[in-house]
Structure formats: structure tokens, C-alpha cells
Amino acid sequence: MKVTINRDKLMESIQHVTKAISSKTAIPILSGLKIQVKDNGIKLTGSNSDITIESFIPVEEEGIQFIDEIEAGEIIVHAKYFPEIIRKAPQETVMIDSDEQLQVTIKSGHAEFHLNGQDPEEYPQIAQIQSDTSFELPINLLKNMIKQTVFAVSTSETRPILTGVNLKVEEGQLKFVATDSHRLAASNIPLDTSLDSFPDSQVVIPGKSLNELSKILDDTEEKLYISVTDNQIAFQTNHLYFLSRLLDGKYPETARLIPEESKTTLHANTKQLLQAVDRASLLAKENHNNVIRLQTKGSHMIEISSNSPEIGKVEEELTVENIEGEELKISFSSKYMIDALKIMETDQVKIEFTGAMRPFIIKPIDHDQILQLILPVRTF
């Protein structure tokens, strides 16, 4: 195997695939990075038990040549040292060569490195999903849906299913839902194509997988191809293939958590409310769960406060667009409120309360594609 390639283009691909490589793996060969050189380009692969990432670099694209010299072949290289060598290569191009003894030579300018490689035959076969359940989405839309939900997954392994985002298709809409049982985040968009073959509510993608996927996708309106099987999901662009396992188990029925009616509704400026909650949280951090209190005052005023006996207290009055319904005093986690308001994309939000001890929902004022639900905290 031999290839001469643009250093920066190679480094970009390496950074993508190494996100799937872990030194703590039960299969030693998976701690390496796989390089496959073919006539039309070079493919890099990184994998662990949860995700696999493949990145392809073509010989040339849009008139720019990335690869000069090619002799087909494949090798596994050390995933810790190889990226460092490429990153610090002195010239804009690097030459990578491997021989029959699995020795890898990397040359750039006057620098020459020799690494011990591993046998690519020992590397597990990567499944290329063929599925009836496939659809396309613009990449920026998918990234938005991830951003609007993934922060609400559980970080505790006591209920592993809650560490993932539930992906489902209902009434012609694609829906993402995440909950840690104290809050819920939902995002949905209309689908262009009907997906009758979509599996029932069992498609739960690990939150960690979605976070990594979101990091390596560029913000673009280009389409991404998604395929789902019983236990895996694949995301594919022109030069990237991202495969993740799905979580086993039954995702809770979350629709019944969302209140049907409200007793108090307020419309507020998203940014002003976020800043006020953020200020109140400064003194709420010490009491373990960042609890703050919101109280309505008349039809255009709320008070946001927090009280930490050892430190002090904060009170702030905020003028809001309007308040309808019953008077209300409610306590909740400032962190959850901040997380929910940060992902709202509208200037105004609508908050619907069903009483001091019932979950409340936050959504944009002009559409229903994002919904955040927070459980209140009982304070005595």
C-alpha cells in the first residue's frame, strides 16, 4: 500500500474517525485506525462497540487534487501516534507506505517515521446497512433536532433506555424525544415521504452517538441519508458513513406526560427570561438542585427569586408580554430552564402551567415543532 496525500485533508478525516476509537476496548484491533487505499481514493475507519465512522477522501473533488500517488492496499495504524505524526508533518503532503511485514513508513519533507502496523484481516467487517426504512434529511435540520433534544437524555445508567433519544414517525412527522424523567425535550418536523415501514417506537439512539455525529457534520443544507434496522442506524453523506447501535428496551410512553390544558399561560421575551433565570441561578447553585422560584404578579409581571440560607437571596421582577389565568407560585431547576430556553429559536416563548406541582411546558410562540417539559420541585 502506498499513497501521497494532502496533509490537512487527511487530518480532517482522521479527526472524524478517531471519535469512534477507544483505547478501552475488548477487541484490541479496534484501538487502531484502519486505512484502505483504493484506486478512487482513501477510506479511514474507526470503530468501537457503539459506533463506527468511515470517512472517504476522493483522489480529487471540484478540481482540487488531494491524492497524487496510489498503490491499493490496507493497514491498521496506531490511533494514538499516527494522528500526532500527521498533525505535525512539516510539509503540505505526506507519503504513507506499508510493506508485507506490516511496517508503516510516513514521510513528509525531511521527516521520516516508522510505525508498527497491524493486520487488516483481523479487523471486523463493518456492516453496510441495507434497509427498507430509509429517508433523507437536510443535514442542518438533523443537527437542529439533535441540539433541541439530546441535552435532556439521562446521564445515569440506572435506566439505560433513557440515555438515548427516541426517534419515531407519527402522522407524517419525524419526532425526536429525550427525557431523564425530570424533564422532556421534543422536536418534530414534517416528512416529505411516507415511512410505513418505520419500526415501532423502539428506535432509541444513544445520546453519545448523536453528540458525536453532530460534531462531525458540517452545517449545510445538503441531504443526509438515514437507514434503520432492528438494532442499528446509519447516517450517510457523500464522504461519511456513521453507524450506531440502537439501545435495547422499551422507551416510555411520553405523550401522556404532556398536559392537555393549562391554568396559567405567560408569553415572555426568550432572551430576557433566560438572563433573569441565569442571574437567579447564581445563588441557587449551592442548594443542591439549583432551585429557583417564579411567581406571577398581575397580568404583566413575574418575580424570579432564589434563596440560599447560607449565602443570601436574589429577587428580580421581569415585565412579560402577558399572563393569563390563575395566579401561580412554582419552583423548578434553573439549570433545566436555562437548557430549555437556550435552544428556543424564537424571540418569544409561551409557557403553560397546570398548577404548582404539575409539569409545565415551554414552546415557541409561533409553532409547535419544539416542546420542552419541566417537572417542578416541591419546596417547603
Question: How do residues 321-355 score in pLDDT, each as one tens digit?
Answer: 999 999 999 999 999 999 999 999 899 999 999 99
Q: Are 237 and 224 in contact (CB under 8 A)?
A: yes
Q: pTM for the complete prediction?
A: 0.92
C-alpha of 75 from chain center? 31
Q: Does 2-122 carry CATH code 3.10.150.10?
A: yes
Domain 136-219+245-255: top CATH class: alpha beta
Residue 287 has pLDDT above 80, yes or no: no
pLDDT on residue 191: 82
Residue 80 has pLDDT above 70, yes or no: yes
Angular region, 63: left φ>0, alpha ψ -120 to 50, beta rest = left
Residue 173 has pLDDT above 70, yes or no: yes
pLDDT on residue 374: 97
Q: How far is CA 165 from CA 177, 184, 226, in A?
A: 6, 11, 15
Count of beta carbons in the 10 Å neighbourhood of residue 241: 19
Computed on alpha carbons and rounded to an integer, the radius of gyration of the chain in Å comes to 25
Question: 164: pLDDT confidence band, cut at 50, 70 and 90?
Answer: very high
Q: Give the type of residue at 134.
A: S
What are residue 274's phi and psi, to 5 degrees? -60, -45
* 165-169 contacts at long range (C-beta below 8 A, 24 or more positions apart): 165/204, 165/205, 165/207, 165/210, 166/201, 166/203, 166/204, 166/251, 166/254, 167/203, 167/204, 167/205, 167/228, 167/233, 168/198, 168/200, 168/201, 168/203, 169/195, 169/198
What is the domain partition of the chain in residue ranges? 2-122, 136-219+245-255, 258-374
Per-position b or e across 94-120, b if 16+ CB within 10 A of its CB = bbbbbeeeeebebbbeeeebebebbeb
Q: Are 97 and 39 in contact (CB under 8 A)?
A: no
**In whole angstroms, what is the distance from residue 305 CA to residue 277 CA?**
8
Any bridge partners for residue 292, and if so which? 332
Residue with cell 497524487: 68
pLDDT on residue 200: 62
Q: Are 370 and 344 in contact (CB under 8 A)?
A: yes
Residue 247 makes CB contacts below 8 A (sequence gap 6+) with 160, 161, 163, 164, 204, 205, 206
Which CATH fold topology does 258-374 show?
Proliferating Cell Nuclear Antigen (3.70.10)
Q: Are 135 and 226 in contact (CB under 8 A)?
A: yes
Residue 112 has pLDDT above 80, yes or no: yes
If you average pLDDT over residues 61-72, what whole number do you get? Answer: 94
Question: 286: pLDDT confidence band, cut at 50, 70 and 90?
Answer: low
pLDDT on residue 197: 66
Please tell me if the domain spanning 2-122 has the same topology as the one spanning 136-219+245-255: yes
Question: 213: pLDDT confidence band, cut at 50, 70 and 90?
Answer: very high
